[in-house]
Amino acid sequence: MTTRTSAPPSRSEPSGVRVIRLGAFSFRVRLRVAGLVAVAAVVVVGLMAWSLTLGNYALSLAEIHGALKGTASADARFIVVDLRLPRLLTAVAVGSMLAMSGAIFQGILRNPLVSPDIIGINAGASVGALLLIVTRQPLAYLPAAAFVGGLVAAAAIYALTWRGHISGARLILVGMGMNAMLTATTTYLLTQAEIRDASRAVLWMTGSVYGSDWGDVRLLVVSLAVLVPLGAALMWSLRVLQLGDLTAHTLGMPVERIRLFLIITGCALSGIAVSVAGPIGFVALMVPHFARMLAGPMTAGVFVLTGLLGAALVLGADMIGQHATGVSLPVGVITSALGAPYFLYLLSRTRVRL
Residues in contact with other proteins by CB under 8 A are: 12, 14, 19, 21, 24-28, 110, 164, 233-234, 236-237, 239-240, 242-244, 246-247, 249-254, 292, 296-297, 352-354
Rounded to a whole number of angstroms, the minimum distance from the CB of residue 47 to other proteins is 28
Closest to other proteins by CB, 204 vs 343, is: 343
Beta-carbon-side half-sphere exposure of residue 171 (alpha carbons within 13 Å)? 25
Closest to other proteins by CB, 68 vs 293, is: 293
Q: What are phi and psi of 17, to 5 degrees?
A: -130, 140
Closest to other proteins by CB, 196 vs 353, is: 353
Rounded to a whole number of angstroms, the minimum distance from the CB of residue 310 to other proteins is 20
Rounded to a whole number of angstroms, the minimum distance from the CB of residue 250 to other proteins is 4
The b-or-e profile of 124-136 (16+ CB within 10 A means b, else e) is: bbbbbbbbbbbee
Rounded to a whole number of angstroms, the minimum distance from the CB of residue 307 to other proteins is 18
Closest to other proteins by CB, 26 vs 56, is: 26
Closest to other proteins by CB, 188 vs 236, is: 236
Rounded to a whole number of angstroms, the minimum distance from the CB of residue 252 to other proteins is 3
Q: What are phi and psi of 328, to 5 degrees?
A: -85, 115
Residue of 167, 353, 163 whose CA lies nearest to 244: 167
Residue of 209, 121, 131 whose CA lies nearest to 172: 121
Q: What are phi and psi of 137, to 5 degrees?
A: -80, 160
Please name every residue paired with 27 in a beta bridge, in sequence order, or none if there are none. Answer: 20
Residue 10 DSSP code? P
